[in-house]
Amino acid sequence: MKTKKYYSFNNLAGCVVQSKSRKTKVLVGLYEGTQSGLASDMPWLIVCEEHSSCVGHYSLNAAKQAMSDTTIWCEKCQENQKT
Ligand SMILES: [Zn+2]
Model pLDDT for residues 42-72, shown as the tens digit of each residue: 999 999 999 999 999 999 999 999 999 999 9
How far does residue 26's CA lie from ligand 1's centre (Å)?
Answer: 7
Cα gap 22→49, rounded to integer Å: 14
Amino acid at 42: M
Q: What is the pLDDT of residue 83?
A: 67
Q: Report the Cα 13 to chain-centroid distance in Å.
A: 13
Cα gap 71→52, rounded to integer Å: 13
Cα gap 13→34, rounded to integer Å: 10
Ligand 1 ion: Cβ-proximal residues, 5 Å cutoff: 48, 50-51, 70, 74, 76-77
User: In which band, very low, low, confident or very high, does the pLDDT at 40 lie, cut at 50, 70 and 90?
Assistant: confident
Residue ranges of the domains in the chain? Answer: 9-82
pTM confidence score:
0.90
How far does residue 4's CA lie from ligand 1's centre (Å)?
Answer: 30
Please give the order of strands across the beta sheet that includes 53-57: 15-20, 27-32, 44-48, 53-57
pLDDT over 90 (residue 1): no
